[in-house]
């Protein structure tokens, strides 16, 4: 079983540039269903949060959560690193985004799968060693997948290479939980590049892999 911090990081990473690249914020309402006998749905929700604010600009993204364990996750394209800030950890834990302990066996595409916030969405389904990952997306929220070709962690590139767009809904189903996020707000517009910088004086440490 993955360490809890590493599991949370992998779950957050798959949120994701050919069409005009989307810049702005997407807010998701998130729910959890635990498959672990000693971890309740409420505990997972408290740890991860039920709201995710996802910012994206020029191949960088930042995901800010309202959970008691995870605070935010930052991906920097130039470094190909994912930085994770835990509420009870002094250090910012980083992951090499080129690494991936999962395997995608098959990727399929379903057209006209859903309508979310007025956007007509297709669906990418990834059948993985870890379980099934489903992403509903609209080309109107396009991204250049070439910017993420080195981002293998959490099967990020496996999804975005098929969609060339950000998800408006995602469902991650593995042997430990089901995590579902649905967009409740899409706010396109220019962002302050400072959003995608590390806090001054941040203590950096590699995230434990075992």
Per-domain residue ranges of the chain: 4-16+23-206
Res. 89 pLDDT band, cuts 50 70 90: confident
Q: Can you tell me the mean pLDDT for 147-173?
A: 97
3 has pLDDT over 60: no
Q: String of b and e for 127-137 (b: at least 16 CB within 10 Å)?
A: ebebbebbbbb
**Long-range pairs for 9-12 at CB < 8 Å and ≥24 separation?**
9/73, 9/82, 9/84, 9/93, 9/95, 9/153, 9/154, 9/207, 10/102, 10/153, 10/154, 11/48, 11/154, 11/172, 11/179, 12/52, 12/63, 12/65, 12/70, 12/73, 12/84, 12/154
Res. 20 pLDDT band, cuts 50 70 90: low
8 has pLDDT over 80: no
From CA 162, how far away is CA 145, in angstroms rounded? Answer: 8
Q: Specify whether the CB–CB gap between 101 and 80 falls below 8 A.
A: no
Whole-number pLDDT of residue 43: 92
Q: Can you tell me the mean pLDDT for 167-177?
A: 97
Q: Can you tell me the mean pLDDT for 78-91?
A: 91
Q: Can you tell me the mean pLDDT for 61-70?
A: 94
Q: Can you tell me the mean pLDDT for 35-43?
A: 94
Q: Can you tell me the mean pLDDT for 118-132?
A: 98
Helical H segments across the chain, by residue range: 4-12, 41-48, 156-163
Structure tokens at 144: 């250049």
% of the chain with per-residue pLDDT over 90: 83
Whole-number pLDDT of residue 99: 96
| The domain defined by 4-16+23-206 carries CATH number 3.30.428.10 | no
9 has pLDDT over 90: no
Whole-number pLDDT of residue 13: 52
Structure tokens at 209: 């892999």
pTM above 0.75, yes or no: yes
């Amino acid at each position: 079983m993955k360490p809890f911090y590493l599991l949370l990081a992998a779950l957050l990473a798959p949120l994701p540039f050919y069409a005009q690249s989307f810049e702005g914020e997407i807010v998701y309402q998130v729910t959890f269903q635990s498959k672990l006998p000693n971890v309740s749905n409420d505990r997972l929700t408290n740890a991860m949060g039920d709201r995710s604010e996802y910012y994206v600009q020029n191949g960088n993204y930042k995901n800010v959560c309202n959970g008691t364990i995870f605070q935010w996750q930052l991906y920097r394209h130039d470094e190909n690193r994912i930085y994770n800030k835990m509420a009870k950890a002094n250090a910012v834990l980083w992951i090499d985004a080129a690494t991936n302990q999962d395997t995608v066996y098959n990727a399929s595409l379903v057209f006209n799968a859903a309508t979310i916030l007025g956007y007509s969405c297709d669906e990418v389904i990834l059948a993985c060693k870890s379980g099934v990952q489903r992403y509903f997306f609209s080309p109107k929220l396009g991204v250049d997948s070439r910017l993420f070709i080195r981002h293998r962690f959490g099967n990020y590139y496996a999804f975005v290479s098929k969609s060339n767009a950000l998800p408006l809904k995602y469902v991650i189903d593995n042997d430990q939980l089901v995590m579902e996020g649905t967009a409740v707000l899409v706010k396109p517009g220019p962002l302050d590049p400072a959003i995608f910088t590390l806090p001054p004086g941040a203590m950096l440490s590699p995230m434990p892999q075992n």
